[in-house]
Amino acid sequence: MHRKNIYWAVILLVALVSCKTKTDQTAMNRERFISEKQADRVVAQLKDSLGQSYAFRIERGVHQVADLWRESDGSEDDFSTFCKTNFVADTSKLNTLFTKLERNFEILSGYFNNIDLKLKEPLHLAGPDIEPVDMMFGGYDVTAHLADDFFANKIAFLTTLNFPFYSLEEKTKLGPSWTRKEWAFARMGDRFISRVPADVQQHVSQTITAADAYISDYNIYMGKLLNQNGKTLFPEDMKLISHWGLRDELKSDYADSVNGLEKQRMIYRVMQRIIDQTIPQQVINNGKYTWNPETNQVYENNREVTATAEPDKRYEVLLENFKAMKQLDPYSPHYPTLLLRAFDGSMEIPQSDVETLFKTLLSSPQVKQVAAFIKARLGRDLEPFDLWYNGFESRGGIPEEQLSAITSKKYPNAAAVEADLPNILIKLGWKPEKARQIASLVTVDASRGAGHAWGSAMRGDKAHLRTRIGENGMDYKGYNIAVHEFGHNTEQTITMNDVDYYMLNGVPNTAFTEAIAFLFQKRDLELLGLKNPNPDDNYYLALDNFWSAYEIMGVSLVDIRVWEWLYAHSDATPAQLKNAVIDIAKQVWNSYYAGILGGKDETLLAIYSHMIDYPLYLPNYPMGHLIAFQIEQQIRGKNFADEVTRMLMQGRIIPQLWMQHAVGDKISVNALLKATDEALIALQK
């Protein structure tokens, strides 16, 4: 999980709430102070003065300023004077303005990012219990008044007057012929496209922070779980966060030939009770009680006590996220719902295109074929939790305990992880000097939650890798997550420090940084020196990618449908939302999974914690899987580091153009489906 990118993705959703051109009207008309007629007069005067060669920039810039100008900014004459005085026609002077804006925005973004990072440390890092004051500071958005200030001092107007905003359609049409500088200018045009009140921004920040804190402390003490015989199956000190830790433990239990299946069924039952909120409040993040998840009986000192179900808190948190995001809608003529902001605005891929990709794979004949292959390998009928089958990975046959013994010895603390980062990069193909340079800009911290990556927002500053490290060192789950997060950090560091323009730092959207992280994560055993050359590895890689995409695409459809339901039922209660989420999960399951994994009306697709604490982030994961697979195909037989660096150096252009340059094709399921067919034929010979 890429925490910094997720956080800034949410901030971007705030920023995207007023992307409008001259013809866009609707909700902001009630606040409009400068009339279309007055704006047109200024446009005509500037054209007469400067000539028709500047017509597009003049028209777009003046109308953008008019859309955002309020009475408090000055009179109509003030507006006219501002535009005629501050429109920069000379190319050399425009380049100078861009350079100065870019420099100063980097300074502000960088230091504000550091402040936010520091204020959230008590919430994100391992340490004392979270206190109310920690939540107050952690939920504070230090940037909330920045936009207001920039409109007040006219910096925002200066920027939007001279650097046009381009819609996704325009970027798609014009982008392939743009120079790097023209792309940087276009991203500068994305900078000020809204005037969201500071109190709304603060409320969004506080709500997301509260949701994150709720999920970060949602742990299950596995050593306290009882089976039907009153026995414990998990290590006494095992504490797993929902859903990541529970899922990863379930996946690791495929290697346990003795108790693995029973442990998986127990985890599966825990997940179901989290989803329907029948989980006892007493057993959440509390090691005082023992609990039989099947009967839902709770014990203290071997005596049964009355269990109290969690009072729909999970859905209360989700509902608060919806209410916060809906507050942004009135300021969004171009993207009047979170769904539009998440796809057309932030991801820069239309929702319909994304869903078409998902449904194509979910409905493909390859699903039944791969499921039959898994069934033959397991020697039993598939069950719903086999959604997380991981026997295609090399570690599928290595017991978790053996892997944890290796990782805990190698990484007893955060300092040991940080010291080994250059070696990891060297093993992946980076030259020693470059590996040390990248690693020098990454700091490792012990995480309170499952782990995340938080990148810098200015060149030369450090990214942060947060991962769970227990008292006895880093277990394999923590290591696997850490390698994933280090993939994020590597992307963050390269695209921040090596891309030619600051305005182009990063990748097109969060799916791309997830793709890079997946590439790292799949090489975790190789980095430990455990992966033996296997001529069938590429076939298993294809099947693993396919099954992972199959799993997360359904989860993502649930997330999308839930937000569609919320917009249709904006006055819902937490209990009503809970029932709706469960119904939607059942519907998606019955459409794409019941005939494969059984369990009609199964709710399992609703377990993902992302749905609760990061609005509409989940669709980035399956897109990331598709992107990662296409990149994997491209780099096969080549130097991993060289190819990844080549691709990352494109920076934040639009997704489909990035992919064309990176692998020669758009984002597609075709390559994965073809590779899956080839793998099944080869492995079933």
How many Å apart are CA 357 and CA 346, to the nearest integer? 18
pLDDT of residue 3 exceeding 60, the answer is no
pLDDT above 70 coverage of the chain, percent: 94
What number of other Cβ atoms are within 10 A of residue 45's Cβ? 15
The 10s digit of each residue's pLDDT in 41-70 is 999 999 999 999 999 999 999 999 999 999
The 10s digit of each residue's pLDDT in 14-25 is 545 433 333 334
Give the tokens for residue 661.
Answer: 């340059």
More confident of the two residues 401 and 31:
401
Mean pLDDT of 518-522: 91
Closest CA to 331 of 20, 10, 74: 20
- How high is the pLDDT of residue 396? 46
Asked which of 27-31, 36-40, 219-223 is least confident by mean pLDDT, the reply is: 27-31
pLDDT of residue 536 exceeding 50, the answer is yes
The 10s digit of each residue's pLDDT in 186-202 is 999 999 887 888 888 88
pLDDT of residue 12 exceeding 60, the answer is no
How many Å apart are CA 165 and CA 159, to the nearest integer? 10
- How high is the pLDDT of residue 434? 98
Closest CA to 597 of 258, 362, 337, 336: 362
Mean pLDDT of 494-523: 94
Label residue 142 exposed, middle or buried (CB < 10 Å: 0-12, 13-18, 19+). middle
- How high is the pLDDT of residue 532? 61
Q: Which DSSP string corresponds to 72-132?
A: GG--HHHHHHHHHHH----HHHHHHHHHHHHHHHHHHHHHHHHHHHHHTHHHHBSSSPPPH
**Type of residue found at 671:** A
Annotated domain spans of the chain: 3-190, 335-392+532-683, 397-526
- How high is the pLDDT of residue 394? 54
The H or E element spanning position 588 is: helix 574-592
The mean predicted confidence, pLDDT, of the chain is: 91
Closest CA to 463 of 424, 497, 489: 489
The 10s digit of each residue's pLDDT in 327-374 is 998 887 678 899 999 999 899 999 999 999 999 999 999 999 999 999
Asked which of 3-12, 249-258, 456-465 is least confident by mean pLDDT, the reply is: 3-12
The 10s digit of each residue's pLDDT in 94-137 is 999 999 999 999 999 999 999 999 999 898 888 888 898 998 89
Question: Is-contact 581 562, C-beta < 8 A?
Answer: yes
Q: How far is CA 182 from the centre of its chain?
A: 27
Residues facing 7 on adjacent strands:
none
- How high is the pLDDT of residue 119? 93
Closest CA to 609 of 343, 135, 140, 246: 246
pLDDT above 90 coverage of the chain, percent: 79
Instruction: Kindly tell me the sign of the dihedral angle through the C-alpha atoms of 130, 132, 136, 137.
Output: negative
- How high is the pLDDT of residue 162? 98
